[in-house]
């Protein structure tokens, strides 16, 4: 009888990956980050098991979107009170908090359960080119379409 492989904690190798968002499309960057967080690029990938890497996104303020998304895409939140709906456009959200835009896009591509929430904690997003994770010796992740 064949047994299903289940990765053990001692088999896991956690790497730190850096993605430069400068000039990148938001959706493509988010799917690349989600794929690495889930560990789908590893041969020991198992659904529901945290085998992924840590992901650092730098230059979040320089992300690109296509078409009229800057003005037409809206982010909504509600206070819980009547009339408490607040909305903000992508353009305004990028000016205010670009890390929230990328975090939201990546969250949309992860499982919406406690496993996904655990994975989202391994995502670090920074507005500029500097990050405080030099000690982890992160490697640059190759982004398709970028020279």
pTM: 0.91
What letter would DSSP give residue 44?
T
Cα separation, 50 vs 107, whole angstroms: 15
pLDDT band at 2 (very low <50, low <70, confident <90, very high): confident
pLDDT of residue 146: 59
Cα separation, 84 vs 104, whole angstroms: 21
Strands 85-89 and 123-125: unpaired
pLDDT of residue 145: 64
Domains belonging to the chain, first-starting first, are 14-66+94-140 (3.90.1180.10)
CA–CA distances in Å: residue 78 to residues 73, 85, 103: 17, 4, 19
pLDDT at 32 over 60: yes
Share the mean pLDDT of the chain. 94
| pLDDT tens column, 106-135 | 999 999 999 999 999 999 999 999 999 999
């Amino acid at each position: 009888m064949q047994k299903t492989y289940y990765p053990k904690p001692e088999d896991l190798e956690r790497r730190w990956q850096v993605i430069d968002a400068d000039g990148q499309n938001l959706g493509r960057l988010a799917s690349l980050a989600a794929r690495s967080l889930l560990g789908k690029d590893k041969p020991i990938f198992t659904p529901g098991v945290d085998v992924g890497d840590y992901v650092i996104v730098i230059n979040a303020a320089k992300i690109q979107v296509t078409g009229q998304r800057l003005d037409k895409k809206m982010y909504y939140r509600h206070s819980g009170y009547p009339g408490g709906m607040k909305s903000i456009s992508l353009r305004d959200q990028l000016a205010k908090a670009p890390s929230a835009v990328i975090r939201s896009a990546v969250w949309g591509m992860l499982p919406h359960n406690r496993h996904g929430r655990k994975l989202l904690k391994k995502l670090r997003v920074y507005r500029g080119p500097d990050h405080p994770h030099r000690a982890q010796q992160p490697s640059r992740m190759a982004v398709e379409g970028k020279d």
